[in-house]
Amino acid sequence: MRKDLAPDLLRLKQKERNKSKKEKEEEEEEQGEEEKGIASMLPKDFQWGFATAAYQIEGAVDQDGRGPSIWDTFCAQPGNIADGSSGVTACDSYNRTADDIALLKSLGARSYRFSISWSRIIPQGGRGDAVNRAGIDHYRRFVDDLLAAGITPFVTLFHWDLPEALHQRYGGPLDRTEFPLDFENYARVVFAALPKVRNWITFNEPLCSAIPGYGSGTFAPGRQSASEPWIVGHNILVAHGRAVRAYRDDFKAAAGGGDGQIGIVLNGDFTYPWDAADPADQEAAQRRLEFFTAWFGDPIYLGDYPASMRKQLGDRLPAFTPEERALVRGSNDFYGMNHYTSNYIRHRSSPAAADDTVGNVDVLFHNKQGNCIGPETQSSWLRPCPVGFRDFLVWISKRYGYPRIYVTENGTSIKGESDLPRDKILDDDFRVKYYDEYIRAMVTAVELDGVDVRGYFAWSLMDNFEWADGYVTRFGVTYVDYENGQKRFPKKSAKSLKPLFDELIAAA
C-alpha cells in the first residue's frame, strides 16, 4: 500500500513498534509467500479485452437510417463541448468494423465490449415505431465477424445515447411508465436479432445519465434540476429490471443452452476519510460510496436504496412499488464495474444543499496531512490510485455477497497527451504503468481477498469522442489521427496488456 494512503498511519506505526520481533518475522514470511502466489491467479477462461461506446466511436450519424440521439442535439448547442466538436465522424468505426476487429486481434484481445446505438435499431425509439433493418444487419454482421475472429462480444444496450424522439415525446427516463416499456421493447428487438451474444449489459453508468444529464446539465440532454436525477435513476433501474426479466424469460434458454448472462454496469470511485481518526469523515466516506455506487447496487442486491440517501433526500428519492421491487431485486447475473480513481472524503457540518448529489461531503485529492492520492492526469477528476481499486473490489464483494464481477472499464488519460507529437503519444509509459499496477491490484484482490473477477476491459480500445471533453482528452490504447482519416496506431500500452495477462492467467 502507498504510504500516503495508509488511512491511520500514525496508529499503524505505533502498532508496529509494539510487535515482537518474532511476530514481525512471521508476518514478513507470510507476506512473502502471499506475493509468490500472485503469479497466475486468474482462471484460464478469464475474459480480457477493450471497451468502447457507440456514440464515441461510430460516427456515421446520418447513415443507413440512424435517427438522432440526445447527444447529437447536445453537441449542436454551442458551449456544451470543450472543443466544439461532436460524434458526427468520431473514429468512423461504423464503416471500419474490419479494421477494429483486426486491431483487436493484433493485440490478442479475448473479448470486446461495445454498445449498440438505440437510434440505429429504432430511429424514433418507441415500441410503436419502425425497426431499422439496416441497423440490425450492421450489428449482426459485426457480432458474426467478432466470433469468427475468436473474440467474445460483450454488448451494452444503452451507453447514454437516448433517441432524441423519446426525449421530445415524454422526457425519456423522466417518464416512469413509458421509458421502461420502450426500453424493454428495444432490448427484446436486439436480443432477438443477436442470438449468438451470450454477454449482455443493460445500462452503462446510470449515475452519469442521471446526474450530469439531469442535475448539473453538463451531459446530454443538458437539464438542470435538484429532483430529476433521482427520478431518472429510479426509472433506469426499473427499465433494467424489465429488460433482464425479458431476457431470462424469453431469450436466455434459447441462447447456447442457456449459458447467457446479463447485468448492469455501475461506476464508482473508492473513498478514504480525509481525517482517518475522525468518525465523521469515516462515515462521510461510506456515505459517498452509497450515493455513488450503492444508489443502484443496493436496490439490485439488497432490495432498496441506502438509508443515508433516504435520510438526506426524503421524498425526492422515489419509493419502489412492490412490482418494481420484484423486477429490480436480483436482476444481475454479474456485477459490471467501471472504476478509474479514488478520493479523500471530508464531512460537512452544514445541512446538505438542495442540489447536492454526493452525500453532503467534500471530495478531495489530498488528505488532512497534505498527502496526495495520485499524480495528475488530463482529467480533473482522475488520479491513479491502484490500492483504491483493490479496496473497492473488496467493498463491493462484501456488501453484495461476493458476486461475479466483470471490470467493464478501467483506464486513464495522460496530462497534455493531445499536445504531444504522435511518436511521443505512442510511447505512453504513464498508461502502461497505470494498467500494470491496477491489474496487479485486481489480481491481489482475487488471490488474497476472495474477490470473484471474471473479466477485465481496458478503456478504451482507441482514442475517441470523450463526451463533454470532445477530442481534447485521450483515453485510448490506440492513437487515432483524427485529421488524417482516423488512422489507428497502437500505443505502447496496447501492446503491454497481452504479455501482462499471459503472465497472470493460469495456463490451459
> Nearest 5°: phi and psi at 139?
-70, -30
DSSP notation for 465-494: --GGGTTSS---SEEEETTTTTEEEE-HHH
Query: Taking Cα atoms as reference points, which of 137, 211, 123, 208 lies closest to residue 168?
Result: 123
* Of 205, 228, 290, 466, catalytic: 205
CA-CA distance, 18 to 29, in Å (whole number)? 18
Task: Name the grid cell of 42.
Answer: 486468474
Count the residues in the chain.
508
Pairing verdict, β 199-204 and 261-267: parallel
> Nearest 5°: phi and psi at 72?
-60, -45
361-364 β-sheet, strand order: 270-273, 342-347, 361-364
Task: Name the grid cell of 357.
Answer: 448529489
* Of 164, 178, 409, 466, catalytic: 409
Task: Name the grid cell of 322.
Answer: 412492490
The yes-or-no answer on residue 409 being catalytic is yes
DSSP notation for 132-194: -HHHHHHHHHHHHHHHHTT-EEEEEEESS--BHHHHHHH-GGG-TTHHHHHHHHHHHHHHHH-
CB contact at 8 A, 168 and 177: no
Query: Containing H/E element for 459?
Result: strand 453-459
CA-CA distance, 480 to 461, in Å (whole number)? 10
3-class state of residue 226 by DSSP: coil
CA-CA distance, 383 to 234, in Å (whole number)? 30
The yes-or-no answer on residue 205 being catalytic is yes
DSSP notation for 281-293: HHHHHHHHHIIII
Helix axis angle, 178-193 to 133-148, nearest 10°: 50
Task: Name the grid cell of 140.
Answer: 449482426
End-to-end Cα, the chain, rounded Å: 32
Query: Taking Cα atoms as reference points, which of 107, 50, 34, 37 lies closest to residue 455?
Result: 50
- Give catalytic residues, as residue numbers: 205, 409
